[in-house]
Amino acid sequence: MNKTLKIFPKDVLQNESVTLDWTFRLSFITDVVAGLMYLHNTVLQQHGRLTSKSCLVDKRFVMKLGDYGLPSFYNESLTKMEKHELLWTAPEHLRSTGPNGFLRGSQEGDAFSFAIVLQEIVLKESPYFMNDTNAEDIIKRVEKGERPPYRPIVSGANCPQEINFIMTSCWAESPAERLKFAQIRSYLRQLSKPIAEQLKRGESIPPELYDNVTIYFGDIVEFTTLSAASSPTDIVTLMNDLYVQFDEIILQFDAYKVETIGDCYVIVSGLPRRNGQHHASEIAKLALTLRSAMSTFKVRHMPEKVLQLRIGLNSGPCVAGVVGIATPRYCLFGDTVNVASRMESTGEPMKIQMTQTTQSILAFLGGFHMELRGEVPVKGKGTLMTFWLLGTNQSDEGELLAFIPSGRRRSRLPSNGLPPLWRTSAAKQVRHGVSQQRQREHKHKRIQHRFQHKQQDGSE
């Protein structure tokens, strides 16, 4: 039996007898994103006609998409369409069709349409409800491309800041600046439970002190040189490909992507959800996986180019909070953040440098190979004792590649990629990896084991 009813979001959202808190609204948003991601990965490659009227709510309050595919049936001349039907249409498509042309679509256009649907879900009102302008004037202003672009008015009091960021990013004037749906899904997933609960209740998020976290800073080696040899479009495509892959990998760890600034990628573990001392091991394993992913990543416009990362880790206390209204950001503050950044900037290509604080936690937890680098001059801190993170005790190529999405793997690691650290000799592993205390423990176990064997031989 078909459980889908012909109930439009408007009938649910604007029904005063139905109470829709942010739990339901976030669920609707997630459903639309999942539907569009599915369509974008089929032969259709787009929806092309997304409006709130093409969304249906079933008996289980799951939002589903309709009115897609079979473009030959849907090619309507703009002159035959009602003006209010174009309120969800991206500006580039309004301009490219012409007065007698046919309405076209694209994945970027779907992102714009999704943002308008998102406004309907947030305000529980029709598109551009608070603008107090008729549909024809709205279409003209959107098509014209004003500065700033003409968009729905959504106040901070009505919209959680994280959702507002997704919405405003998706209706950006330039199609290249709009979020991809894989990124939107990652943002929705990464809304931690404590923050999501506060957003659902409509509460602001005050700054919070975390006693112990581990922070990852990473950037691309010689990114400036690479940018000079590439077009802006190539760079945008490169960064999008890379960060989408990174986002997918992060979802498999207890870690939170804080932000990306150019080629700099910042991750933290231990907040917003505290996890004891495991923040260090989560970031360490994540750093090793991201470094390994460089050997499998392919630059579209430079297929022979192998990207290299420079990574820095540090552990300690920090303050976290949401900053800004128009473009809100979940930011970290404190000396721990600054030192993590210095660990990256003073590091070396394809190496993971960490402070003694992080090294001490990993040595306590066990299972990691580390090597003393020595004292390194750090701006504002004098000299700091730092270490290289080399690998894990049980790490092998299969284990690292297991965290990398299968569609992005190569059949084997190339010779100029990540060196197989797990093949080093036992003596080298001891030199590079474990603290002196752990070495003494291993030696004691070996002696005890030999003594037991001698006792067994004597008894026989």
- The long-range contacts involving 269-276, CB below 8 angstroms and separated by at least 24 positions, are 269/213, 269/214, 270/210, 270/212, 270/213, 270/214, 271/208, 271/210, 271/213, 271/318, 271/320, 272/192, 272/194, 272/195, 272/208, 272/320, 273/192, 273/193, 273/194, 274/210
Cα atoms in the Cβ-side hemisphere of radius 13 Å centred on 45: 5
Q: Which two tokens stand for residue 118?
A: 């998102």
Instruction: Please list the residues that pair with 202 across neighbouring strands.
Output: none
pLDDT the model gives residue 236: 81
pLDDT for residue 427: 32
pTM: 0.49
One-character DSSP codes across 67-95? S-S-HHHH--BGGGS-GGGGTTS-HHHHH
Question: What's the CA gap between 228 and 343, in Å, rounded?
Answer: 26
| Three-class SS state of 150 | coil
**CATH architecture of the domain with residue range 206-423:** 2-Layer Sandwich (3.30)
Strand 208-220 and strand 309-323: the pairing is antiparallel
Given CATH 2.60.40.1220, say whether it is the number of domain 9-199. no
Nearby residues of 191 by Cβ (< 8 Å), 6 or more positions away: 162, 199
Number of H helices, E strands in the chain: 17, 10
pLDDT tens for the chain, 460 residues long, are 344 445 555 656 655 555 566 767 787 888 899 899 999 988 888 988 898 888 887 766 778 888 887 655 555 544 456 778 889 999 998 887 544 455 678 999 999 999 999 998 888 888 887 777 888 899 999 999 898 899 998 876 667 777 888 898 899 999 988 989 988 887 777 664 555 566 555 566 677 889 899 999 998 888 888 888 888 888 888 888 888 888 888 878 888 888 766 678 889 999 888 888 899 999 999 999 999 988 888 888 888 888 899 999 999 999 887 765 444 567 888 889 989 999 999 999 999 999 999 999 999 999 999 999 999 998 888 899 999 999 988 654 445 545 555 444 433 333 333 333 323 333 333 333 334 445 545 555 554 555 455 445 554 4
Nearest of 284, 309, 289 to residue 388 by alpha carbon:
284
